[in-house]
Amino acid sequence: MQTSSFIGAVDIMSRHTATERPLLHGGRREAMRQAYPAAPQPWIDLSTGINPIPYPVPTLPPDCFTRLPDPEAATRLESIAAAAYRVSDPAMVAAAPGTQILIELLARLLPRPHIAILGPTYAEHQAAWARGGGRVDLIHDLDALPAPSSLVLCNPNNPDGRIIPPARLRALADHLAARGGLLVIDEAFADLAGPATSMAESLPHPAIVILRSFGKTYGLAGIRLGFALADAPRAAAIRTALGPWAVSGPAIAIGTIALADPAWLTATRHRLTRAAATLDRLLTDAGMTLIGGTPLFRLAATASASAWHDRLARAGIMTRRFDDQPAWLRFGLPAGRAAWARLAAALSNDRAPLANHPDQ
């Protein structure tokens, strides 16, 4: 994990306009099966930054599937999330069915005429704010920030793992607050970076809105659970906009248990950090250059990225390519001995399987 801000002149990209065509993301297994029908099964999906070894889902009460969730259960989940994220007041936490819907909602609930997004980063932020009707600039340098009313960034960043120190973020938030602006911080990968990375303890702050993802770290993206952290009036507005029963009963039940289990999170952070180091060795041995990443994914550069993507796909392994960065490949973490061995073999045909894979 590396700490830096982007260096260089501001690069204002062409203004984004919403289109009918959705953005493509990782995890599209059926499309890969159709494109590579002869690939070995099962597919190993390294195209997303999701923990490959999920939180052990407990036996759930049957009524969480059959009844509408009680409001008190959602409130309890928000209280447990506040403790997990070090937010001083549970009223500053709004639970949602994943962070993607929050990205869309913020652009409509809190519209701004001019917004900057620090890139390269998760493309849905730019698309959502553009659909919200404002002027959107993609910039590459905080040191030469133009005069937008708001700023959006990911910390740690996806896909390169860049981390901006909290002191810098606090100064930015104060600057934007003085102009009536917002600082939206997507902390989807902050769980594994440690509490010192998060800005949650700076709340309440008039300009700060933080997004936290549950599914990535806990390996349960399918239950759709995320949180918005903001001052109490703004968090209440987000809850109202989401409407009643926004989070499902099973998601509330699992999130309530998992977020109150710090021992699992600590052990997972250590395990994934070791696994990421093993993946770094495989990628560098294959001739790739590491750019960065988080414990859940690594970003590598190679002039042969397209050929590597195809070679790995023929081995039944999905990686993430980037249309605007054709030399980049992002790799998630394999799960289990067989997956690690197949990746090692695909990266180097003469490589023996790993003697001590990180999931042991």
DSSP per-residue codes, 217-280: HHT-GGG--EEEE--HHHHHHHHHHH-TT-S-HHHHHHHHHHTT-HHHHHHHHHHHHHHHHHHH
| Domains assigned to the chain | 29-53+263-347 (3.90.1150.10), 63-260 (3.40.640.10)
Please check the confidence at residue 8 and state whether its pLDDT lies above 70. no
- CA–CA separation, 100 and 80 (whole Å): 21
Please check the confidence at residue 83 and state whether its pLDDT lies above 50. yes
Q: What's the Cα-to-Cα distance from 318 to each of 42, 284, 313, rounded to whole Å?
A: 11, 18, 6
Please say whether the beta carbons of 60 and 74 come within 8 A: no
For the chain, the distance separating the N- and C-terminal CA atoms, rounded to the nearest angstrom, is: 23
Mean local confidence (pLDDT), 193-210: 95
Token pair 């050929």 is found at: 307
Mean local confidence (pLDDT), 94-123: 94
Residue 233 tokens, joined: 């009036």
CB neighbour list of residue 31: distance below 8 Å, 6 or more residues apart: none
Split at pLDDT 50, 70, 90, the class of 317 is very high
Q: How far out from the chain centre does Cα 273 lie?
A: 16
Q: What is the pLDDT of residue 92?
A: 98
Residue 328 tokens, joined: 């980049």
Split at pLDDT 50, 70, 90, the class of 19 is very low
Q: What is the DSSP letter of 197?
A: G
Mean local confidence (pLDDT), 65-73: 97
DSSP per-residue codes, 292-335: EEETTEEEEE-TTHHHHHHHHHHTTEE-EE-TT-TTEEEEE---
Q: What is the pLDDT of residue 337?
A: 94
Mean local confidence (pLDDT), 35-54: 94
Mean pLDDT of the chain: 89
Please say whether the beta carbons of 255 and 81 come within 8 A: yes
Q: Give the number of other CB atoms < 10 A from CB of residue 302.
A: 17
Mean local confidence (pLDDT), 302-319: 96
Q: What is the pLDDT of residue 24?
A: 54
Q: What is the pLDDT of residue 146?
A: 74
Q: What pLDDT, in 10s, does the model give residues 20-32?
A: 445 555 667 788 8
